[in-house]
Amino acid sequence: MLFIGNLIQIGIWAAVFMYYDEFTAFKDAFYHSSVNFTTLCYGDFILGNERKLLGGLEAVNGVLMFGLSSGFLYTLLTSLLRRKHGIRN
């Protein structure tokens, strides 16, 4: 579920890039968006000068979402382990 949520956000960012005519093909926009979202930043696609900030904003969004996802998974697994071993708070 978390993975799907992240993919949806990557798709939304790709749609934003398409809206601003940064890409002609959605697959390229989605690829660029996934590279930005995961903060890999290969540099094989470069946004225009007017929209370079969008790449950084997407990277920050990706870092925050991966942090939230990690926190959620940690809480879930801790809760499951406590329940399994009968540990109460």
Domain that holds residue 34: 2-62
Per-residue pLDDT band at 33 (split at 50, 70, 90): very high
Taking the CA atoms of the chain, what radius of gyration do you get in angstroms? 17
Query: Is residue 77 assigned to a domain?
Result: no
Per-residue pLDDT band at 63 (split at 50, 70, 90): very high
Query: Is residue 52 assigned to a domain?
Result: yes
Query: Is residue 27 assigned to a domain?
Result: yes
Query: Is residue 47 assigned to a domain?
Result: yes
Query: Is residue 40 assigned to a domain?
Result: yes
Helices (H), the chain: 2-19, 26-37, 52-85
Query: Is residue 7 assigned to a domain?
Result: yes
Per-residue pLDDT band at 89 (split at 50, 70, 90): low
Q: How many domains does the chain have?
A: 1
**What's the rounded mean pLDDT across residues 1-12?**
92
Model confidence at 42: pLDDT above 90: no
